[in-house]
């Protein structure tokens, strides 16, 4: 059994998905490679306006002055093709890129009970990536493709075994918002169903794409439906139409089982595009970045990876000189505090950074790249509770990192030097909810706000404790004193250190941390 994902009007959809607001407008797709540029496809709004395929560009503009002209783009089709392949690969690794806009998938080893939901999810994911697809399931890749292009809603053709055993040619189809129904006895479900014979009888012969010569012969014979041709005796077809006619008969009747040309999942986590026009506002860039992130995150999830960092490069229309160097593009890179494949969190982080990037030149190109790493699996605690929205903290963290920089987001970690103020910033691990209810007693106290750097101070000592001090910010008589606390470290080196610490309260108010290191007194901070 096979599944086929078909993207109708693929070249047009590939271009429309990269611009916001084009759907619903009169858009024509023009092929510039022809000797005379001609409209090869258009939206329904353009059809209603009379700007039909086959017209020259001036003719299309004459019929619809509001027409939006876009040109065929190999780059756009390549981007859409990778998105289609990623969706297909999420169902099974046995994927063939049959031709642009069509992927055939072998269903060996696929769980039939979950295939219905998987196909439904693929249609939804494709729509999120800006592509409207159709899915067919059949005994051969060709039958599955015929069903995908012909089906309306949910249709079962033949009988499908939940164990995936094909006793006879069989297929099921889905288009747009529907999904395939995989049932052993479709009659009991109430779903539309029919036999393979009934399906072929409703399929025009041109839908199965015969050659022009063969189609002309069949027209002379009065055969206009695929079912009528499939009912002809196979031997007689071979005698009269030769090898071509015999192969066509096997294809229609579901007897031709060709091996799939399996493609490997590309290990490329980068998407780029050169614009046909200059972009001088933020909204089109954000739309395209969001589209690319959705596509890259899908590829990460299929590969069981997460993004560790993001790199964004914007090509500039006006090349300028800065310190004697040519500036053709501006770039920015972000480290992800909590590596993830969630496109929403990555987009919020990147959009915050993009809003701060300033350029006087319009943008003519965009390149987005993510650095993948393996997903770290962690065991959750028995008493951990799930967050109402597990992505809320990640998104907030991404926004903070976008403002202050990922290198400035983390948690403090003590250094091995032994100094109480010796701390480094450590990247946050995978975020999990805090554990509660384990019987630990919460303790609260004053918080020390450290001065950076510590303030040099003059100190008077009486009875081996500070009785008065003064620094650039504060000073006065000491009312109460706690300490000293002795600390030392790196005694094994000649430059080792030792210090004494006191917590003192001034008579005028305020609690401060006094430190004596060798002969130098300092005010290290104050308590809030």
Whether pLDDT at 179 is above 70 = no
Question: What is 271-400's CATH superfamily?
Answer: DNA polymerase, Y-family, little finger domain (3.30.1490.100)
Query: According to the model, what pLDDT value does residue 116 have?
Result: 62
Nearest CA to 34 out of 79, 74, 76, 72 is that of 72
| CATH-assigned architecture of domain 1-11+75-266 | 2-Layer Sandwich (3.30)
- In sequence order, what DSSP letters do the residues of 28-42 get, joined into one string? EEEETTSSS-EEEEE
**How is residue 456 written in tokens?**
């040099």
Secondary structure class of 504 (helix, strand, coil): strand
Which of 2, 8, 1 has its CA nearest to residue 175? 8
Phi, psi angles (nearest 5°) of residue 349: -65, -45
Going from N- to C-terminal start, the domains of the chain cover 1-11+75-266, 271-400, 448-527
Angle in degrees, 0-180, between the axes of helices 74-89 and 112-128, rounded to the nearest 10 = 150
CA–CA gap between residue 451 and residue 233 (Å, rounded): 94
Q: Is the pLDDT of residue 385 over 80?
A: no
Q: What is the pLDDT of residues 313-352, one digit of tens each?
A: 888 877 665 555 667 888 888 888 778 888 888 888 888 8
- Confidence band (pLDDT; 50, 70, 90) for 418? low
Both structure tokens of 445: 């106290």
- The total of other beta-carbon atoms located within 10 Å of residue 62's CB is 13
Residues 515 and 500: beta-carbon distance below 8 Å: yes
Phi then psi dihedrals of residue 493, to 5 deg: -110, 160
Residue 509's SS3 state is coil
Token digits of residue 129 = 């990536």
Given pLDDT bands bounded at 50, 70 and 90, which one contains residue 170? very low
Predicted confidence (pLDDT) at residue 442 exceeds the cutoff of 80: no
Nearest to 363 by CA among 354, 350, 352, 353: 354
CA angle 157, 159, 161 (to 5 degrees): 130
- CA distances to 173, 247, 293 from 127, in Å: 18, 36, 15
At residue 148, the pLDDT reads 81
- The single residue listed with the structure tokens 């529907």 is 178
pLDDT value, residue 351: 83
pLDDT of the residue at 276: 79
Q: What does the pLDDT read at residue 208?
A: 84
**What is residue 382's predicted lDDT score, i.e. its pLDDT?**
42
Separation CA 469–CA 459 (nearest Å):
4
Q: What is the pLDDT of residues 286-297, one digit of tens each?
A: 898 899 999 899
User: Per the structure block, which two tokens stand in for 125?
Assistant: 């994911």
**Cβ atoms of residues 24 and 101 within 8 Å:** no
pTM of full prediction above 0.85: no
Reply yes or no on whether the pLDDT at 12 is more than 90: yes
Q: For residues 29 and 40, is the Cβ–Cβ distance under 8 A?
A: yes
**Percentage of residues in the chain having pLDDT higher than 90:** 14
Instruction: Give the H/E segment covering residue 218.
Output: helix 212-221
């Amino acid at each position: 059994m096979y599944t086929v994902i078909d993207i109708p009007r693929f070249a047009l959809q590939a271009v429309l998905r990269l611009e916001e607001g084009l759907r619903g407008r009169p858009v024509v797709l023009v092929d510039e490679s022809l000797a005379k540029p001609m409209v090869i496809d258009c939206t329904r709004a353009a059809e209603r306006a009379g700007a039909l395929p086959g017209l020259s560009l001036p003719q299309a503009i004459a019929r619809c002055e509001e027409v939006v002209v876009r040109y065929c783009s190999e780059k756009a089709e390549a981007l859409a093709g990778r998105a289609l392949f990623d969706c297909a690969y999420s169902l099974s690794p046995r994927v063939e890129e049959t031709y642009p806009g069509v992927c055939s998938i072998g269903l060996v080893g696929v769980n039939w009970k979950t295939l219905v939901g998987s196909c439904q999810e693929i249609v939804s994911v494709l729509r999120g990536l800006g592509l409207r697809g159709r899915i067919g399931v059949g005994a051969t890749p060709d039958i599955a493709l015929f069903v995908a292009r012909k089906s309306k809603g949910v249709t079962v053709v033949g009988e499908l075994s939940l164990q995936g055993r094909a006793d006879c040619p069989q297929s099921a189809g889905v288009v747009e918002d529907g999904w395939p129904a995989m049932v052993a006895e479709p009659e009991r479900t109430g779903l539309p169903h029919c036999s393979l014979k009934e399906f072929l009888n409703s399929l025009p012969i041109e839908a199965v794409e015969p050659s022009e010569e063969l189609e002309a012969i069949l027209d002379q014979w009065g055969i206009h439906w695929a079912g009528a041709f499939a009912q002809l005796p196979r031997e007689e077809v071979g005698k009269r139409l030769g090898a071509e006619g015999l192969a066509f008969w096997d294809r229609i009747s579901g007897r031709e089982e060709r091996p799939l040309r399996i493609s490997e999942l590309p290990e490329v986590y980068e998407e780029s595009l050169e614009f046909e026009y200059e972009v001088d506002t933020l909204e089109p860039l954000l739309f395209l970045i969001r589209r690319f992130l959705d596509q890259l995150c899908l590829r990460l999830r299929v590969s069981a990876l997460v993004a560790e960092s993001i790199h964004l490069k914007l090509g500039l229309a006006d090349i300028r000189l800065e310190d004697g160097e040519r500036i053709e593009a501006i770039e920015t890179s972000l480290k992800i505090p909590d590596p993830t494949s969630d496109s929403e969190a990555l987009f919020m982080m990147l959009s915050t950074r993009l809003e701060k990037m300033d350029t006087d030149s319009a943008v003519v190109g965009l390149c987005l790249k993510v650095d993948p790493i393996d997903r770290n699996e962690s065991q959750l605690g028995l008493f951990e509770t799930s967050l109402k929205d597990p992505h809320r903290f990640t998104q907030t963290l991404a926004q903070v990192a976008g403002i202050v920089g990922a290198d400035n987001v983390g948690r403090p970690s003590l250094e091995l030097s032994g100094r109480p103020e010796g701390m480094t910033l450590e990247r946050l691990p995978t975020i999990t909810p805090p554990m509660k209810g384990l019987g630990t007693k919460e303790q609260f106290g004053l918080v020390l706000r450290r001065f950076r750097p510590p303030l040099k101070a003059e100190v008077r000592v009486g009875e081996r404790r500070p009785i008065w001090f003064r620094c650039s910010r504060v000073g006065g008589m000491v009312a109460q004193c706690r300490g000293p606390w002795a600390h030392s470290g790196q005694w094994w080196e000649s430059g080792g250190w030792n210090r004494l610490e006191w917590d003192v309260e001034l008579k005028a108010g305020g609690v401060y941390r006094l430190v004596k290191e060798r002969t130098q007194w300092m005010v290290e901070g104050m308590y809030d």
